[in-house]
Amino acid sequence: MSDAVQPTAAEVRAAAEAVKTALDRHLAAVERRSGEDDPAVYEAFNELAAAAEVYDELLYDRYDEVTPFEIPGAEDAPPYTGPEEANALSVLIRRDYAVVEPHRLLAQAQRVEAVDGEAGAEASGTVHGALGVLFGEFEPDEIASRHKEFGLEEGDSTLWVTAADEPAEPGEWLETPFEQVDPEHVVCRFDVSAVFDDELEDDIDDLEGIDEADDADDETGDPEAELDEDEDLEPLDAER
C-alpha cells in the first residue's frame, strides 16, 4: 500500500478507542438483556464486529499487524444480492436442544395437562408427546429462556433475516417453509454455538501464555545488566 493512502497513527488509535467503546456497550447490553433473543444485544454485537473489523484493517495497513480476535460467521456469509429496499422480510430461527432429563420434561407436560383439565390424556406419557404438549402451550422464546426447567440443554442456534420484494401469499410456503431460502437475500444473521466459546477460550489461553512469558522475563531480569550495576558500585566501595 502506498504512503499516500496509508492510515495515520491517529486513525488507528481512534479505531482502537471505537473498539473499546463498542466492547463496553456490548457488555452493558448483555448485562441488562431482557431475554435470549434481545435485539439490543444483537445490535451491540454487530457494532462490536464492525468496529473490530475496521480496527483490524487499519492496524494491518499501517503496521502490517493483525488482531487475535475473529467474529465468527462474518466471512462465511455470501454477498447480499437482494432488493435494495425490501418491502417484506422473513425471520427464520433454528434452535437445537438435547433432552437431558426426560423425567423433568414429562413432569412439566403432565402439569400442563392437569391445569388444562386433561389429567387422563396420554400425550404427555412419551417424550415426543410431552414435547408436543409443551411447545403447544409455550412460545418458543419462553421455552428458550426456561429450557432447563423442561429438562433440555441448549445446542447451536441461528437466526436469519431475509429480504424480499413482496410478501408471500397466505399459505404459499407452509408445506416447505425452509426450502426456498436464498442465502444471498440474508440481510443479517446471528449464530450461537459452543464452538465459538472454545475458540474464544483458545484465544484467551494464548494471550495469557504470552503475558506469563513476559512476567517470567521481568522476574528473571537480565543477569548481565545486574552485573553491570554491581560493577558500577565497586569503584565507590574501593574509594571508601
3-state secondary structure of 96: strand
pTM: 0.51
Cα distances (Å, whole numbers) of residue 92 to 80, 179, 209, 218: 17, 11, 41, 53
Q: How confident is the model at residue 3 (pLDDT cuts 50, 70, 90)?
A: very low
DSSP-derived letter for residue 187 is: E
Reading the block at residue 229, the C-alpha cell is 550495576
Please check the confidence at residue 74 and state whether its pLDDT lies above 70: no
**pLDDT, average across residues 5-33:** 91
Instruction: Categorize the per-residue pLDDT at 114 as very low, low, confident or very high, splitting at 50, 70 and 90.
Output: confident
Q: What is the pLDDT of residues 133-190, one digit of tens each?
A: 999 999 988 998 899 999 999 999 888 889 888 898 999 989 888 887 888 888 888 8
Give 194's Cβ-side CA count (13 Å radius). 5
- Enumerate the β-bridge partners of residue 161: 91, 188
Over residues 41-72, the pLDDT tens digits come to 888 888 888 888 889 889 988 998 888 776 55
What pLDDT band is residue 120 in, cutting at 50, 70 and 90? Answer: very low
Cβ count within 10 A of residue 185: 20
Rounded distance between C-alpha atoms, residue 145 and residue 228, angstroms? 64
How far apart, in whole angstroms, are the C-alpha atoms of residue 23 and residue 30?
11
